[in-house]
Amino acid sequence: MSTPRRDYLVLWLRLYFAAHLLYSSLRYFTLFEPQPQVPGLGGQFIDVLTAMGIFPFVKALEGAVGIALLFNRFVPAVLLIELPVSVNIFWLNFFIVGRPRQLFSGLQEIVLNLIMIAAYWRSYAELLRLRSLPSPLWARPVRGSDAS
């Protein structure tokens, strides 16, 4: 696959993931569509998260990540921020609830996030160095040399 095709594929996947996250967030806050009822232990888990104020925070986070992805801002960072949410959604939907709709949405969530992380993999190279030196904000860069 040529580079422009890959770039367009990543663009469309980024926009699809953004739309998915924005829809999920807006559906929760605007109630233009009723929230799906999650049966059993999964529903109890969501009820507890809601009672603790965590579920609204997660939905707001999904909205913020969706906006960042839509406008191509801080994409590598927001993909990592969304990853724990995606893992929880996948686990809850795939292993705990296990109904057909949840099987699809849970798998879709984690696959989209992981594909997007793979697409931006080079952005994470510095984070994955075995040994790193501190580089505080107040330090001046050394001219004419590689500071790493």
**What pLDDT was estimated at residue 54?**
95
Looking at the whole model, is its pTM more than 0.85? Answer: no
Q: What's the confidence (pLDDT) of residue 135?
A: 80
Confidence of residue 71 (pLDDT cuts 50, 70, 90): very high
- State the distance between the two ends of the chain, measured CA to CA, in whole angstroms: 34
d(CA 146, CA 49): 47
Domain residue spans in the chain? 3-35+51-124
Residue range 17-60, pLDDT digits in tens: 999 999 999 999 997 767 777 878 988 999 999 999 999 999 99
**For the stretch 129-147, what's the b/e string if a residue is b when 16 or more beta carbons lie within 10 angstroms of its beta carbon?**
eeeeeeeeeeeeeeeeeee
Structure tokens at 81: 């921020």
